Amino acid sequence: MGFLTILEVSKKQSYIFKSNRLRENIGASEIIEFVTKELPQELCDDYNGNHISSGGGSSIYYFENNDDCINFSKAYSRRIIKEYPSLEFFIASLEYDPEKDIIIDKTRELFERLERKKAKRDTYSCIIDFGVSKKCSSTRLPAIYKEELSGNYYSSEAKSKIDMFNQRGKSNSQFALDIKDLGVSKNEKSYIAITHIDGNRMGKRISNLRESFRSKYNSENIKEINEQYINALNQFSTDIDKAFKTAFNKMVETVEKNRKNLEKERMELKSSVIPIRKVVLAGDDVCYITDARIALECAYIFLQELEKYKVMGEKITACAGIAIVKEKYPFFKTYELSEELCKNAKSSIEEGKIESRIDWHIVQGEYNNNLGEIRNTVYKTLDGKDLSMRPLVVSKESDSPNHYSLFRKDIEVIRTRKLPGGKIKGMLKEMKKGEAYLDTYIEINQIYNVLGAHRLNAKSGFLNGKCVLFDAIEALDYFIPFCDEEV
């Protein structure tokens, strides 16, 4: 009788974005990658285990006896608690006989046991401070270390992140290691963007895979089908991981090809640094930081490249949420907004449609942590129409009127026409009043040419109850288009 063990690191994004210091974010990201991949595999080998599968932030391992299973869990727990304080993780195990038990049922039971353990949280509360210690400038936890160069105090959590950054993060020096490496221009719109990308229909695909194998079982072939299912599940994870990494690399390549153009647009780039900071790139879960002005184009390139790949006979799609904020805005709140935007993009896809979408929000002032409320109030006209067409569709074969390519053309047309800033601001005021007011404004000022040939069916500035110009005008100062070829 063997044992299955599942590991899951919880609240990863909170752990990564707790600080606004990029080196701590990078160090935290490296810690997450180490403790979810390298460390458990190293200990699994030490205790004669086998890796079964990984995905959705958790990993499953098999051990042939209870002692190895327990020793693995103890060794992993000791390392995490000692070396990476405040990192929240969970472990659950159950008995499993590969020759008699159907692994599909056993993994479901294992996940249920893990969820019960997460809900219980026996040791969740503890005393962390008696009020007489210096506070960490990043985490507000008791400080255990003072950095001589900066004079900053750091908690054990922050120090572990900095140590990991010095050990591993610094070596990946081709990517930005500081906010100023992103190309943010002073005396300009000094905004950055956190982009969160998540794959669509992943749960559905895994469910379909699971059900396709369930029908193959009989009393004589349990072990054989278990092995086939594990191989198929791992191949699925490998294919997804490869596609998302390839899409990320294509995005990086496109940014590098556009370097001269970005410098012309006053992005302050360093010759040896790619102006992107990868934070998470694990399976279908992606997060990175850029200057706000290239965020939309980066996500567009990523999603377009991703859709070139298929898994289980269906093209891979995903949604991107882009939170655009001033560079001093709290990172964790920015990430939460990007995640909410990504979910909003996913929920906007009609049932049965297989496509990718982008949603974004520019935070100017305070954000009330309620995207739905903002979209239903601030982004509504007085006559009940929508100011924004977001989320925008990315998929090439789509002919949707809210396609990203039409948004790009809107920006191109507005810039080509070189309208005075006063007239553009005047348009924003009239848009808020409603369709009739915007139509009158366009006619009085004779600016029909602000609508390109692709918007001939929206002469009033509105189409199907949505304003076709607002997104482009709002994003005008936060958008640099990519060229197809190096310039």
What's the confidence (pLDDT) of residue 487?
31
Range(s) of the domain holding residue 90:
2-120
217 and 298 together in one domain = yes
What's the confidence (pLDDT) of residue 121?
67
User: End-to-end CA distance of the chain, in Å?
Assistant: 64
Confidence at 187, pLDDT banded by 50, 70, 90:
low
Residue 419: pLDDT over 90: no
Vertex 281: Cα angle to 276 and 287 (nearest 5):
55
Which is it for the CA torsion 427, 428, 430, 434, positive or negative?
positive
356 and 396 together in one domain = no
372 and 392 together in one domain = no
Please tell me the distance from the alpha carbon of residue 38 to that of residue 45, in angstroms, as a whole number: 11
Residue 169: pLDDT over 80: no
- pLDDT digits over 67-109, tens only? 999 999 999 999 999 999 989 999 999 999 999 999 999 999 9
Q: What is the tally of structural domains in the chain?
A: 3
**Rounded average pLDDT over 347-354:** 92
Are the C-beta atoms of 27 and 164 separated by less than 8 Å?
Answer: yes
Are the C-beta atoms of 279 and 31 separated by less than 8 Å?
Answer: no
What's the confidence (pLDDT) of residue 123?
60
**Rounded average pLDDT over 345-350:** 95
Residue 126: pLDDT over 80: no
486 and 404 together in one domain = yes
Could you tell me if residue 299 is inside a domain?
yes
Q: Which of 102, 120, 138 is the last residue of a domain?
A: 120
370 and 481 together in one domain = no
Vertex 322: Cα angle to 316 and 323 (nearest 5):
155
Could you tell me if residue 222 is inside a domain?
yes
Could you tell me if residue 132 is inside a domain?
no
The pairs formed by 362-366 with CB atoms below 8 angstroms and a separation of 24 or more are: 362/191, 362/292, 362/324, 362/474, 362/475, 362/478, 363/323, 363/324, 363/325, 363/326, 363/329, 363/334, 363/337
Could you tell me if residue 147 is inside a domain?
no
DSSP per-residue string spanning 428-451: HHHHHH-HHHHHHHHHHTT-GGGS
Confidence at 144, pLDDT banded by 50, 70, 90:
confident
**Neighbouring C-beta atoms of residue 403, cutoff 10 Å:** 19
Of the segments 113-122, 422-431, 465-474, which one has the largest average pLDDT value? 465-474
Q: Is 369 helix (H, G, I), strand (E, B) or coil?
A: coil
**365 Ramachandran zone, left/alpha/beta (phi>0; psi -120 to 50):** left
Could you tell me if residue 159 is inside a domain?
no
CATH of the domain at 8: 3.30.70.270
Of the segments 177-181, 269-273, 405-409, which one has the largest average pLDDT value? 405-409
Backbone angles phi, psi at 309, to 5 degrees: -110, 150
**Neighbouring C-beta atoms of residue 77, cutoff 10 Å:** 13
**Rounded average pLDDT over 120-130:** 67
Confidence at 173, pLDDT banded by 50, 70, 90:
low
In whole numbers, what is the pLDDT of the chain averaged over residues?
90
Q: Which of 332, 354, 378 is the last residue of a domain?
A: 378
Could you tell me if residue 156 is inside a domain?
no
16 and 63 together in one domain = yes
Could you tell me if residue 231 is inside a domain?
yes
Q: How far is CA 166 from each of CA 24, 32, 288, 315, rounded to the nearest angstrom?
A: 10, 15, 20, 39
Confidence at 486, pLDDT banded by 50, 70, 90:
very low
354 and 271 together in one domain = yes
372 and 394 together in one domain = no
Could you tell me if residue 155 is inside a domain?
no
410 and 370 together in one domain = no
**Rounded average pLDDT over 48-58:** 89
Beta strand pairing status for 318-326 and 357-362?
parallel
265 and 397 together in one domain = no
369 and 405 together in one domain = no
Q: Which of 353, 378, 403 is the last residue of a domain?
A: 378
345 and 410 together in one domain = no
Residues β-bridged to residue 95: 3
